[in-house]
Copies of this chain bind each other. A is one copy, B any other.
Amino acid sequence: MSKNTTVSNSVIRRLPRYYRFLGDLLSQNVAKMSSRELSEKMGLTASQIRQDLNCFGGFGQQGYGYNLAELYKEIGNLLGIDNQVKTILIGAGNLGRAIASHIDFNKRGCNLIAIFDSDESLKGTEVAGMSVHHISKLHEFCKENEPVIAILCIPKTGAQAVADDLVSMGIKAFWNYSHYDLQVNYKDIIVENVHLGDSLLTLTYRVNNQ
């Protein structure tokens, strides 16, 4: 499928989930699956799945089910998994260290190449097999290595200033864990805010109101 094929936003939002489910099925040596079976696993309707997967060329054959390996590869291409976008992480506190260690970046199309922190005492400590750099090295590093994505695991205060700096150093996208809706006043800069606290509050609401 050409990259220019139009895929709706709602389908795009579901892509990571399809990719995760298909990866799991392939790792269990499942090669084919019908839309009905997939729908039971994923909690979507079979017709929704057929409609979504048709967007990617429709690797299903009536009565035979979908070729999961082909579908996985095609969705991976669409996501750009093989591009391995250069990524840096700012903030090597509890959360930063956990994100660096917990996320399989390569499987998410990213290559985590460096970790920075403003705390002198963390300089040189090892996180996820990398040595933490002092934040003062950021500018030089970005100039030499041209990272594209920055992960912000820093407190709310200062997050905006660091983000503005990073944009000036060529960063194009932020994965933002600060308790703060990052606003970048430059067009074409991409922001994905992760609000863990909001997620817990949603659960709290449901517990208290169900």
> Which residue on chain B has the smallest CB distance to residue A206?
B190
Bound CA–CA A160/B148 (angstroms): 37
Enumerate chain B residues within 8 angstroms of A205, measured Cβ to Cβ: 12, 15-16, 78-80
Q: Smallest Cβ distance from A72 to chain B, in angstroms?
A: 13
Copies in the complex: 2
Give the interface residue-count category, chain A: 35 or more
Counting CB contacts under 8 A, is A192 at the interface? Answer: yes
Enumerate chain B residues within 8 angstroms of A198, measured Cβ to Cβ: 16-17, 20
> Which residue on chain B has the smallest CB distance to residue A17?
B198
Enumerate chain B residues within 8 angstroms of A17, measured Cβ to Cβ: 195, 198
List the one stretch of A49-57, A104-112, A118-126, A138-146 in contact with chain B.
A104-112
Judge whether A85 and B208 touch: CB under 8 Å: yes
Report A48-67 residues with CB < 8 Å from chain B CB: none
Given contacts A83-B208, A95-B98, A98-B94, contact A199 B203 (CB under 8 A): no
List the one stretch of A31-39, A129-137, A171-179 in contact with chain B.
A171-179
26 inter-chain pairs at a CB distance below 8 angstroms, sorted by A residue, are A16-B197, A16-B199, A19-B201, A20-B179, A78-B205, A79-B204, A79-B208, A80-B205, A83-B208, A93-B102, A94-B101, A95-B102, A97-B98, A99-B196, A103-B197, A104-B197, A105-B200, A108-B197, A108-B200, A108-B204, A109-B201, A148-B207, A173-B203, A190-B207, A190-B210, A192-B199
